[in-house]
Amino acid sequence: MPEFFLELFSEEIPARMQAKGAEDLARLVTEALSPLNPADVQSFHGTRRIAFACRIDASVPESRLSERGPRTTAPEQALAGFLRKHNATKDMLTQEGDFWVLDRLVPGAAAAELIARALPGLIRKFPWPKSMRWGSASPFTWVRPLRRIICLLDGEVVPFALAEGEDDAHGLVASNLSEGHRFLSPGVFTVTSAAQWKAELAARHVVIDAAERRRLVADGVAQLAAAEGCTIVEDPGLLDEVAGLVEYPVPLLGRIDDAYMDLPAEVMQVSMRVNQRYFALRKPDGSAAPFFAFAANIKATDGGAAIIAGNERVLRARFADARHFWDLDRTHTLESRVAALDAITFHAKLGSQGARIRRIEQLAAHIAPLVGADPHFASRAAFLAKADLTTGMVGEFPELQGVMGAYYARHDGENPAVAAAIAEHYWPKGAGDSVPTAPVSIAVALADKLDILAGFFAIGEKPTGSGDPFALRRAALGVIRIIRENGLRLQLAGLIREAGLADPTELLDFLAERLRVQLRTEGARHDVLAAILAQGLDDDLTRLLARTEAVASLITTAEGANLLACAKRAANILRIEDKKDGPHHGPINPELLMLDEEQSLARHLDTTEPAVALAVQQENFVQAMTDLASLRAPLDAFFASVTVNDADPALRTNRLRLLARVRTAMCMAADFSKIDG
């Protein structure tokens, strides 16, 4: 199969758009060339290019097109639209039954012809998140000025131009020319294949493989840090971005001026990351190290001394700005800043940040004794939790909200538990983040998230399948994780009402769905949770999960799996028979238990039902499962020997009532009919 190769070479593409751009290019080209059966697909991306390579058929063979059109009774407009779509005329149609059918010969096409026809429109309409125009000669847009297009089929140029109508698209045409590193290897070179292109780029100081660039940056800065007895602060997002900013990564290490080492470590790290894309370092004791690492895009003849000096100079200016905010912010106490929150709108229908703080303050005090926290400290922490939003440092670096509040609270002499809660009430911010474990922090974090959830549900601003603008799913997951990972015993319905939502049902259902999604992500039996929830929502998540775990453990055993099958069989029989003349509830007539197997099942139910009920009441779910498992043998024997739908109506009713008792006993734990398997 011939090799197809495409490179789109431009000015520097923003790092955050490169991977998605290459992915979109591969997807769109593969779709456009689908008649040629693309195989061995590869995509590449870097700071100045995205590229695509694959193997394709040499041509599209001749084929027949047969497509059913509108009904023969359809309006003329429908028929005209069908003909227009297929560039056909009415005399090309045949009638098959009640429909018009288009049957025609589609001529074959060489691969080069199809490529030249498909690529110009694809490139012109490429879905960059943001595009720009350049110069004044063309309205054509691209993420950054597009300079060259390579389009090769088996090493030969597939000629096409981007010009369209009066738009010459800057004269861009397909060629076989590319460029290496802008400074280390300037000038063009000829491309004959994807492999030769990669080899030429490597020789011209361009590492085209994104994973390799990332590795070179990561390993390089780690080695430099280790030489100083330090480690790099893990930051995968920054590593990805830096790998997209350089074509030929050269890791370097700079030194931080001692005058700024008393700044909070988080301030230094965020300032370096946001403003300069530098990596922060830590000493073995976890404190900030007086170094920063970065990746240059050239290998300097002086070993990088001038580059390092320039970056150190820039960093001093950045840290001088941070020093200004740090010193100025501490001239006012956090408490004095709270009043300013009344002027900051949280949401048009939910009031100001000040109003929100008052709600959180009250809710945190209510939650505090339930989680072992001092209500006074919980209330105080909630009162101060958002005050740092008015500081200069958080205004400059919003990602430091909470962190700076904790620093300023300690500076003001607040209780350590209060200061910690100010920082930790935002936790967890993401899936990999820790949850708060200190009681005061837990109280404020739950109050903050429950206020968000209750407030937005109250005004009808709920997540949809297409969007969650207020991050309510993240807030719900935060509530769930805090409760799960701290083993808290809370009645969520009451807390939601305390948060201001009169009817908590819909929000509880939302939390239950988030819990189910989390269990599925963890690989746990989320179907078991659904089976338990089918019996009614338990708003004590810890108890709910304990029951889920017990049921899941039971059905993983051979005995439990067999019991599950029997329970499903009983439920299926009852579902069918109840539609006829049910429900089949009521007392069992012992005199109608004719067979030993049904008598045995009835005796077991007499002891199992109260035992399971007591175990569930005592929250001893493992014992409840053990008791239910005792039904396995008598159920097996019952189904092996007893005909439920006996010809005698009295026997049939009695046996269906016996199965209804089985279902009732099982449903004390879960609706087993909803469990997979």
What distance in Å separates the CA atoms of residue 50 and residue 267, rounded to the nearest whole number?
A: 35
Determine the pLDDT at residue 405: 98
Give the model confidence (pLDDT) of 639-654 as tens digits. Answer: 999 999 999 999 999 9
Burial class of 154 by CB neighbour count within 10 A (0 to 12, 13 to 18, 19+):
middle
What distance in Å separates the CA atoms of residue 574 and residue 658, rounded to the nearest whole number?
A: 10
Q: Measuring CA to CA, which residue among 297, 322, 324 is closest to residue 311?
A: 297
Determine the pLDDT at residue 278: 98
Q: Kindly tell me if the per-residue pLDDT of 92 is higher than 90.
A: no
Determine the pLDDT at residue 677: 67
Determine the pLDDT at residue 524: 82
What distance in Å separates the CA atoms of residue 645 and residue 656, rounded to the nearest whole number?
A: 8
Residue 351 CB contacts under 8 Å (≥ 6 apart), including other chains: 345
What distance in Å separates the CA atoms of residue 69 and residue 86, rounded to the nearest whole number?
A: 10
338: which 2 tokens? Answer: 């709270």
What distance in Å separates the CA atoms of residue 96 and residue 102, rounded to the nearest whole number?
A: 10
Return the residue matching tokens 């059918």: 101
Question: Please, which residues bridge with residue 156 across strands?
Answer: 153
Type of residue at 290: P
Helices (H), 111-209: 111-124, 194-203
Residue 291 has phi, psi (to 5 degrees) of -140, 160
Give the model confidence (pLDDT) of 314-348 as tens digits. Answer: 999 999 999 999 999 999 999 999 999 999 999 99
Query: Span 593-603, mean pLDDT?
Result: 94
Over the chain, what is the mean pLDDT?
Answer: 94
Type of residue at 368: A
Higher pLDDT, 206 or 571: 206
- 3-state secondary structure string across 646-676: CCCHHHHHHHHHHHHHHHHHHHCCCCHHHCC
- 3-state secondary structure string across 571-606: HHHHHHHHHHHCCCCCCCCHHHCCCHHHHHHHHHHH
| Cis status of the peptide bond prior to 583, with omega within 30 of 0 | yes
CATH number assigned to the domain covering 558-674? 1.10.730.10
Determine the pLDDT at residue 413: 97
Query: Span 296-310, mean pLDDT?
Result: 96
Determine the pLDDT at residue 84: 87
Residue 349 CB contacts under 8 Å (≥ 6 apart), including other chains: 459, 461
Sheet strand arrangement including 231-232: 231-232, 279-282, 288-296, 250-255
With contact defined as beta carbons under 8 Å apart, do 380 and 418 qualify? yes
Q: Domain ranges for the chain, please list them.
A: 3-59+111-203, 73-105, 210-329, 335-551, 558-674
Q: Kindly tell me if the per-residue pLDDT of 673 is higher than 90.
A: no
Q: Measuring CA to CA, which residue among 277, 272, 293 is closest to residue 221?
A: 293
With contact defined as beta carbons under 8 Å apart, do 371 and 414 qualify? no
Determine the pLDDT at residue 669: 85
What distance in Å separates the CA atoms of residue 304 and residue 296, rounded to the nearest whole number?
A: 8
Query: Span 12-37, mean pLDDT?
Result: 96
Q: Kindly tell me if the per-residue pLDDT of 430 is higher than 70.
A: yes
Query: Span 480-501, mean pLDDT?
Result: 96
Give the model confidence (pLDDT) of 146-168 as tens digits. Answer: 999 999 999 999 999 999 998 99
Residue 431 binned pLDDT confidence (cut-offs 50, 70, 90): confident
Q: 366: number of CA atoms within 13 Å, CB side?
A: 21
Type of residue at 196: Q
Higher pLDDT, 568 or 9: 9
Determine the pLDDT at residue 338: 97
Give the model confidence (pLDDT) of 445-482 as tens digits. Answer: 999 999 999 999 999 999 988 889 999 999 999 999 99
Torsion sign, CA atoms 269, 273, 274, 275: positive
Distance of CA 176 to the CA centre of its chain: 40
Determine the pLDDT at residue 103: 84
323: which 2 tokens? Answer: 């020093």
Count CB atoms within 10 A of the CB of residue 488.
17
CATH number assigned to the domain covering 335-551? 1.10.3210
Give the model confidence (pLDDT) of 385-398 as tens digits. Answer: 999 999 999 999 99
Residue 137 binned pLDDT confidence (cut-offs 50, 70, 90): confident
Give the model confidence (pLDDT) of 603-629 as tens digits. Answer: 999 999 999 999 999 999 999 999 999
Count CB atoms within 10 A of the CB of residue 615.
21
Give the model confidence (pLDDT) of 45-91 as tens digits. Answer: 999 999 999 999 999 887 777 888 899 888 989 889 988 888 888 88
What distance in Å separates the CA atoms of residue 341 and residue 357, rounded to the nearest whole number?
A: 8
Q: Measuring CA to CA, which residue among 191, 41, 178, 50 is closest to residue 126?
A: 50
Could you give the percent of the chain with pLDDT greater than 90?
81
Beta strands of 396-481 (E only): which ranges?
none
